[in-house]
Amino acid sequence: MDKGHREQEEENDKDEYGMATHSSILYLQEKTTVGRVMLSVNPFRDRICRVFSHNNLFSFEDVLGMASVFSEQACPSLKIEYAFRIYDFNENGFIDEEDLQRIILRLLNSNDMSEDLLTDLTSHVLNESDLDNDNMLSFSEFEHAMAKSPDFMNSFRIHFWGC
């Protein structure tokens, strides 16, 4: 069955350049694995696609890399690394206030958050995890916090190909 999936993927997924386009992978996943690939409702789906694709194109290796990062057996440091990249919206190498606010907005799935709550939350997070007080989380600070989380390894998983 996995072979079937792979071949199917190859056929569906490739345009003439042998690359999947950004939109086609979402389409493909919904089509081939009906509801199993969880990107369709993930609030960070565009970030995931951005982090794992090259030039918004997915080669087979990119899909493979994505699957390996989200698999159960991937080691925590790898998962944390990619989580950091996903949460780093403006890609400046740090999770700063802007990133945090965008994360909150996406987690709550609404745009009419009160400004107070947003700033409150971000300041709390920064207060906890920002060790050097520069108002942004560097990777090591992020890792420091996430390595202690009991739920991180459980929640940062996606089932691909239904297995």
Partner 1 sequence: MSGRTHKGTAPGECSQRDSAVTPMDCTPSRGRPGSLAENFFFSALAGDRSRRTPSMKRTRPAEKAPGRRRAQPGQKERAGGSPGSGSPRRKQAERKGRRELLGDRERGSAEKTCGGRRKKDGRASLREQRAPSKKEKETRRKEEMRKQLKKHRSSSVASSTSSGESLSEEELARILEQVEDKKKLIASMRSKPWPMARKLAELREAQEFVEKYEGALGKGKGKRLYAYRMLMAKKWVKFKRDFENFKTQCIPWEMKIKDIESHFGSSVASYFIFLRWMYGVNLVLFGLIFGLVIIPEVLMGMPYGSIPRKTVPRAEEEKAMDFSVLWDFEGYIKYSALFYGYYNNQRTIGWLRYRLPMAYFMVGVSVFGYSLMIVIRSMASNNQGSTSEGESDNFTFSFKMFTSWDYLIGNSDTADNKYASITTSFKESIVDEQESNKEENVHLTRFLRVLANFLIICCLCGSGYLIYFVVKRSQEFSKMQNVSWYERNEVEIVMSLLGMFCPPLFETIAALENYHPRIGLKWQLGRIFALFLGNLYTFLLALMDDVHLKLSNEETIKNITHWTLFHYYNSSGWNESVPRAPLHPADVPRGSCWETAVGIEFMRLTVSDMLVTYITILLGDFLRACFVRFMNYCWCWDLEAGFPSYAEFDISGNVLGLIFNQGMIWMGSFYAPGLVGINVLRLLTSMYFQCWAVMSSNVPHERVFKASRSNNFYMGLLLLVLFLSLLPVAYTIMSLPPSFDCGPFSGKNRMYDVIQETVENDFPTFLGKIFAFLANPGLIIPAILLMFLAIYYLNSVSKSLSQANAQLRKKIQVLREIEKSHKSVKGRATPRDSEDTDKGNSKNGTQLTKEGTAHHPASQSQTLDQKAQGPGASSSASKTVLPASQHLPLSRAPGVRPESGQARPQVHPWRSTSGKRAWRPPH
Contacts (CB under 8 A) with partner 1, residues 112-151: 117, 120-121, 124-125, 127-129, 131-136, 138-143, 145-151
In the complex, the smallest distance separating the C-beta of residue 23 from partner 1, rounded to whole angstroms, is 17
- When asked if residue 37 is in the footprint of partner 1 (CB under 8 A), the reply is yes
C-alpha to C-alpha distances, 129 to 77, 118, 120, nearest whole angstrom: 17, 17, 14
Per CB under 8 A, the list member of 28, 49, 89, 156 interacting with partner 1 is: 156
- When asked if residue 68 is in the footprint of partner 1 (CB under 8 A), the reply is yes
Cβ neighbours of residue 149 closer than 8 Å, sequence gap 6 or more: none
In the complex, the smallest distance separating the C-beta of residue 130 from partner 1, rounded to whole angstroms, is 9
- What H or E segment, with its residue span, contains residue 101? helix 97-108
Q: Which residue has the tokens 């090591």?
A: 140
